[in-house]
Structure 1
C-alpha cells in the first residue's frame, strides 16, 4: 500500500524504535520489515541492550548495508532493561509518532500508514493499537489474530472509550508491539516506568485513563512465538513475579480512574491474587480472592460510567 501524498503533502515522521536483546536469529527479519513497509517518512533507531550473542554484530552489518536507504541511529551499550531502553529510544527520536518494536517480531506492510491516518483523524488520541498475526520461529503463521486467538479478546469492546477502558483493565489482549504513540502523549502521561517487566500494561492504563487510546482492526505486526518467550511464560517463579507486579500496577493506577473503572481495577487486583494463590496451591486465599473479585465486579455494574467523556490529550 502506497501512502497517498495528496491527503497530506508532508506525511509526518514516524520513528521506529527497536530495543534489541539476544535475538540473533530474528533481528534481520525485524529490520528488513522496516524497509519493506511503504510509509515514506520514517527513521529507525536501534539500541542493542547488552546482547551476549551475535545480535549487535548482525545489526551493525545491516546498518552498514542500509544506511543510505533510511535515516538510522544505532547504539550499543550495556544492559539496562526494556523500559529504560524504550525511554532512551523515545528521547533520541525525532518523529511526531513513535512505533516501538521488538527485535524478534516484525512490521507488516501498511500498518504504519493505517495507524498514522488514525491519529491524524483523531487528534485527541495519544496512541492507537492494532492487531497482530502470530508466527513461529520459522515464520510459519500460527494465528490470524493475536488478540482473538491468543487472548480470546472481544474486539467490539475496543470500539468505544468505555470499552477500551474495560478491556485494558480486565483483559489486556495485546500480542506483540502493536502501538503507534504520539510523542507528545509521553510528555502528558510520562514514559515507560523503569524497573517494571509489565511496562506496556502500565503505560496503556495511563493512556486509557485519559481516553487517549484508540484501536484499528488491522494487523500491524507479526508477533513471534519461540522457545525463549514460551519458556518465560512457563517458568513458575517468573509467572509469580509477573503476577505480583501486575497486582501492584493495578492498585497503583486505580486512582487515575473514575468509577466504575476504579472498582474494576481493585477487582482485577483480587483476580490476580487468586491466580497467585492457585499457582501456590493455597485454596483458602484463592476462594477469598475470588469472592472479593466477584463482589467488586458486581459493585462496578451498579455504577454507570461518567456521562461526559474525558477530553483526551490537549
Structure 2
C-alpha cells in the first residue's frame, strides 16, 4: 500500500516476550488504510522468540520496519524512549507489542488532528480483548473525553491508549521518565495534556489485549502505591492549579485506589500465609497514615491467623 501524500506517520512498538501476539500487532499497523512510513519495534531483551519475529518483519519490510534490540532488560520507560528517539515523521503514535489496531485507526486520527488547529494530539476509542482476541469489554463501557482532560488522566477515567501526537509536541515534552518503574505512561500523558488540548476519534481503533502475564495483572501492590504517590508528588503544582472540584477529585480518587491496593496486598498475604508480607503491608499502611487504610473486613481474619501463627 503506497504512503499517502498527507503528513507522514511513524509508530513505535515497545515489545517484551510477546512472540505470540507481535505478528498480529505489526500486521494491523502495516496494513492501515493510512499506512505509516516508519515503524520502530523495540525489544527489551525478550527471552522468547520476539527478536526473531522483529527480524522477519525487517526482512519483509526493509524500508519501513526497524528493530531495536536491548542487550539487557532496561524497563518500560527506557524501551519506549528507544523507539521514540528514532521516529522522524510528522506524526507519532505507539502501540504495545501485544495489542492491535483496526484498519482505519490512523486514517481517522490524522483527519481529526489536521482539521482542528488547537489539537496537537488525538486518540481513538478502544475495546479490551482476551488472549484469543475475544472482546471482553464493550466500547460503550469505556469513558472518553476530549479538550482539557488532565484531571481525567490523573484519575484514570479516560480510555486513552495508543495516542497520536505531532512530532513538534513530542519535542517540546521530551521523553518518558525512566526513573518511574510504573506510571510512566500516565505521567507522559499529563505532560502532553499540559501543552495541548486533545482530540477524540469515536472510531474504535484500538484492541487492547489483557493477558495474565501482563504487568497490570502481575504488579506488586506496593509498587503500585509507590508509583501513584510519585506521580501525584511530581505533578503536585499542576494539581494545585486545578479547580477545587478537580483537585478534590484527583486526591480522593487516588486515595481510594491506594486504599484498594493495600487491602489487596493484605488479602494476598493472608492467603499466602506470609507473616513478613503482612507485617510489611501493615508497616506501610501506618507510614502512609493519611490514607484511610480500611482493613475492617479483614481484621478478624488477621487477628485469628496471627494468634495461630505465634501459638
Flag the 1:140–1:263 CA change in 2: closer, same or farther, 3 A: closer
Q: Distance in 2 between matches of 1:142 and 1:275?
A: 23
1:48 to 40, 43, 46: 43
Q: 2:123 aligned with 1:140, yes or no?
A: no
Structure 2 Cα separation of the partners of residues 269 and 40 of structure 1: 39
TM-fit CA distance, 1:123: 3.2
Q: Map of 1:141-220 to 2, 5 A cutoff?
A: 141-145=135-139, 148-149=140-141, 153-155=142-144, 158-161=145-148, 164-174=149-159, 177-196=161-180, 197-220=182-205
The structure-2 alpha-carbon separation of the partners of 1:194 and 1:286, relative to structure 1 and needing over 3 Å to count, comes to closer
Residue pair 2:21, 2:98 contacting (<8 A) in 1 also:
yes
Paired with 1:174 and 1:221, the residues of 2 have a C-alpha distance of 10
The C-alpha deviation readout for 1:176-202, integer Å capped at 9, x for no partner, is x42112221122222211132211111
How many angstroms apart in 2 are the aligned matches of 1:234 and 1:154? 21
Indicate yes or no: 2:242 matched with 1:259. Answer: yes
Q: Give secondary structure in 2 for the equivalent of 1:251.
A: helix
Deviation of 1:286 after TM superposition, in Å, equals 9.4
Following superposition of structure 1 onto structure 2, how do residues 262-301 of structure 1 map, counting pairs within 5 Å?
262-281=247-266, 289-290=291-292
What is the aligned counterpart of 1:20 among 12, 15, 23?
Answer: 15
CA distance in 1, matches of 2:35, 2:26: 16
3-state DSSP of counterpart to 1:133: strand
Match of 1:105 in 2: 99
CA distance in 2, matches of 1:206, 1:264: 19
| Maintained 8 Å contact 1:105/1:223 | yes
Query: Equivalent residues in 2 for 1:46-85 (5 A)?
Result: 46-67=41-62, 71-78=64-71, 79-85=73-79
Name the CA distance, whole Å, in 1 between partners of 2:228 and 2:75: 17
Partner of 1:47: helix, strand, or coil?
Answer: strand
Q: What is the DSSP-based 3-state SS (H/G/I as helix, E as strand, rest coil) of the residue aligned with 2:39?
A: strand
- TM-score norm. by structure 2 comes to 0.76
Pairing 1:121–2:103 present: no
Q: Does 1:86 align with 2:80?
A: yes
Equivalent residue number for residue 250 of structure 1: 232
- What TM-score, normalized by structure 1, do the two folds share? 0.76
- Alpha-carbon distance in 2 for matches of 1:159, 1:119: 12
Equivalent-residue separation in structure 2 for 1:233 and 1:75 (angstroms):
24
**Which runs of 5 or more residues in structure 1 are unaligned?**
292-314
* Matches of 2:176 and 2:286, distance apart in 1: 36
Contact 2:221–2:262, Cα closer than 8 Å, also in 1: no
Distance 1:50 1:41, change over 3 A: closer
Contact 1:277 1:286 (C-alpha < 8 Å) held by counterparts: no
**Pairwise CA distance, 1:170:** 2.1
2:213 paired residue among 194, 203, 228: 228
How far 1:264 moved relative to its partner?
Answer: 4.2
Quick one: distance in 2 between partners of 1:273 and 1:141? 28
Q: Could you tell me how far apart the structure 2 residues matched to 1:184 and 1:111 are?
A: 21
